[in-house]
């Protein structure tokens, strides 16, 4: 039973309703009035707090929760995370099983539609997605317009936004068929937009999709094909990329999924909402940490320098990048899968010397009191950058790869939000800390700062 310990202007305690449900009960000191707020699913409804009045003329008690540290903004059936136990499941299926037995498009279907597809459903889904990999020729011209050194993630974000101008039917968000079509298009076109952004940044001609290939294989072909008639993809690398997409496919209410839901709640088309989600992902606190891991490994330079580096982290001189997570206080289950995958990739590409540094960092950190006490374990980004780099991706492409993998999660979160009767336009409250009312002052009467000798 939850226990409240910090009375605001009254005493809060837990009790029980006549129907046996737990309540959070508070007593208003001023009036002696008792309020019972039901506790369901270990949660109270913030709106129920409105019945508690701190002052006679206020509209009721609010919660203050910057960064949503302790606020559930939705009910969801998509992804389950238990950060203490290191558990991640999509629609109930453990991530380890999906990474080993499924493939990205099947997992995408599971995330979006809630169940693993039957054979015919799977074949139709793959066909529908792959049929929508081509992009309008004008989008190509749009990508052409970017500067030669434009960041591929900036190009991806802009070109996804541009899609909304090509598919105006996407505005019909309450038409299930229209939603379905936009989902095919988004999942299908994301790799093409990403590959075109990459080819533009390296000054190579665009490669059109080859729908006879797998989702990951086609993406690799659009990225790396040169003059050969058909790109021959290495099966180990194709599989590794596919698994990496699975591992990134959803992560419940993270920053970009929240952006997708929040912007989508205004009933804008899904391309515009996906643009917001991708922009959220671009930030170094979200999709950019794997790049920081590579920079850190470069700086360490040699396995022998690891103890010195760990000591400097403990002295507060920096962070061990790729370690720690807001939710996981245990080994990130995705990091375990990636570590195994790294061995398979390095068999093909040759072992990255940075891997030895990473392994040594992990070994020492996991035995060290500082990291044990703070429950700091490797997260998904600790090894993923090493794999991407070994596969030939420049670091700027890392968040782009993340965006492709995360697209099924975004569209699934978006659709769940739209169909949830409890959802409305997202609109948080604030605690106003500014001036009270004051009268407008004409410009000539406003105080000018006094100037020093040299006008400074």
Q: Which residues are designated catalytic? A: 286, 325, 381
- Tell me the C-alpha distance between 16 and 37, whole Å: 10
Cα–Cα distance for residue pair 282/156, rounded to 1 Å: 10
d(CA 310, CA 161) in angstroms, rounded, equals: 43
Q: Select 324 or 408, whichever has its Cβ closest to ligand ACO.
A: 324
Backbone angles phi, psi at 129, to 5 degrees: -70, -50
Closest approach, Cβ 319 to ligand ACO, in A, equals 4
Q: Which is nearer to ligand ACO, 316 or 455 (CB)?
A: 316
Q: Report 298-317 residues binding ligand ACO (CB under 6 A).
A: 313
Q: In whole angstroms, what is the distance from residue 131 CA to residue 122 CA?
A: 14
Judge whether 379 and 332 are in contact, CB under 8 Å: yes
Our finding on whether 319 is near ligand ACO (CB under 6 A) is yes
User: Of the two residues 194 and 289, which places its CB atom closer to ligand ACO in the complex?
Assistant: 289
CB of 197 to ligand ACO, least distance (A): 21
320 in contact with ligand ACO (CB under 6 A): yes
Give the nearer residue to ligand ACO in terms of CB position, either 217 or 405: 405
95 binds ligand ACO (CB under 6 A): no
225, 222, 230, 220: which is closest to 345 by C-alpha?
A: 220
Within 10 angstroms of residue 380's Cβ, the number of other Cβ atoms is 24
Residue with CB nearest ligand ACO? 324
Residue 275-294 contact track with ligand ACO, rule CB under 6 A, x = bound = -----------x--x-----
Per CB under 6 A, does 321 bind ligand ACO? Answer: yes
The CA-atom distances, in angstroms, between 63 and each of 49, 57, 94, 184 are 8, 18, 34, 39
Spatial distance between the Cα atoms of 406 and 104, rounded to a whole number of angstroms: 11
Q: How far is the CB of 94 from ligand ACO (least distance, A)?
A: 19
Q: Rounded CA gap, 412 and 131, in Å? A: 20
Instruction: Rank residues 2 and 311 by Cβ distance to ligand ACO and give the closer one.
Output: 311
> Is 374 a residue that touches ligand ACO (CB under 6 A)?
yes
CB 401 within 8 Å of CB 215? no
167 binds ligand ACO (CB under 6 A): no
Shortest distance, position 292 Cβ to ligand ACO, whole Å: 7
Kindly tell me which of 187 and 321 has the beta carbon lying closer to ligand ACO: 321
Say how far apart CA 161 and CA 141 lie, in whole Å. 15
Choosing from 99, 380, 404, 417, the residue that interacts with ligand ACO (CB under 6 A) is 380
**Contact between 324 and ligand ACO (CB under 6 A)?**
yes
Angle at CA 281, nearest 5°, toward 280 and 282?
A: 90
Which of the ranges 128-136, 154-162, 188-196, 374-382 carries the binding residues for ligand ACO, by CB under 6 A? 374-382
Distance CA 283, CA 11 (A): 42
Positions in the binding site for ligand ACO (CB under 6 A): 286, 289, 313, 319-326, 374, 376, 379-381
């Amino acid at each position: 039973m939850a226990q409240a310990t910090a009375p605001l202007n009254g005493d809060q305690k837990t009790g029980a309703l006549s129907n046996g449900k737990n309540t959070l009960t508070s007593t208003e000191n001023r009036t002696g009035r008792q309020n019972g707020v039901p506790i369901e699913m270990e949660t109270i409804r913030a709106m129920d707090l409105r019945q508690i009045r701190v002052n006679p003329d206020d509209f009721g008690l609010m919660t203050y929760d910057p960064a949503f540290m302790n606020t559930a903004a939705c009910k969801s059936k998509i992804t389950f995370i238990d950060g203490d136990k290191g558990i991640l499941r999509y629609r109930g299926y453990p991530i380890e099983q999906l990474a080993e037995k499924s493939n990205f498009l099947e997992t995408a279907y599971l995330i979006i539609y809630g169940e693993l597809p039957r054979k015919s459903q799977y074949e139709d889904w793959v066909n529908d997605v792959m049929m929508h990999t081509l992009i309008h020729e004008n989008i190509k011209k749009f990508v052409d317009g970017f500067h030669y050194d434009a960041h591929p993630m900036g190009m991806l974000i802009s070109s996804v936004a541009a899609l909304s101008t090509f598919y105006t039917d996407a505005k019909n968000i309450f038409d299930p068929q229209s939603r379905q079509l936009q989902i095919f298009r988004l999942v299908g076109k994301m790799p093409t937009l990403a590959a075109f952004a990459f080819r533009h940044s390296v000054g190579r001609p665009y490669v059109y999709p080859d729908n006879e290939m797998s989702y990951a294989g086609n993406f690799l072909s659009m990225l790396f094909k040169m003059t050969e008639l058909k790109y021959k993809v290495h099966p180990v690398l194709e599989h590794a990329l596919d698994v990496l997409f699975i591992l990134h496919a959803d992560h419940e209410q993270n920053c970009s999924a929240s952006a997708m839901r929040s912007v989508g709640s205004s009933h804008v088309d899904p391309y515009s909402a996906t643009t917001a989600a991708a922009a959220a992902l671009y930030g170094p606190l979200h999709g950019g940490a794997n790049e920081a891991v590579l920079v850190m490994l470069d700086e360490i330079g040699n396995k022998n320098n690891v103890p010195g580096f760990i000591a400097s982290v403990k002295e507060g001189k920096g962070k061990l990048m790729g370690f720690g997570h807001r939710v996981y206080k245990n080994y990130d289950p995705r990091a375990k899968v990636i570590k195994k995958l790294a061995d398979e990739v390095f068999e093909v590409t040759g072992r990255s010397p940075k891997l030895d540094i990473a392994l040594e960092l992990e070994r020492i950190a996991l035995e060290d009191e500082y990291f044990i006490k703070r429950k700091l374990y490797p997260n998904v980004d600790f090894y993923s950058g090493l794999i991407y780099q070994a596969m030939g991706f420049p670091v700027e492409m890392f968040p782009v790869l993340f965006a492709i993998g995360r697209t099924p999660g975004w569209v699934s979160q978006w659709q769940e939000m739209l169909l949830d009767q409890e959802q409305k336009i997202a609109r948080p409250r604030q605690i106003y800390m500014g001036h009270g009312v004051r009268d407008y002052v004409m410009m000539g009467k406003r105080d000018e700062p006094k100037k020093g000798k040299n006008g400074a």
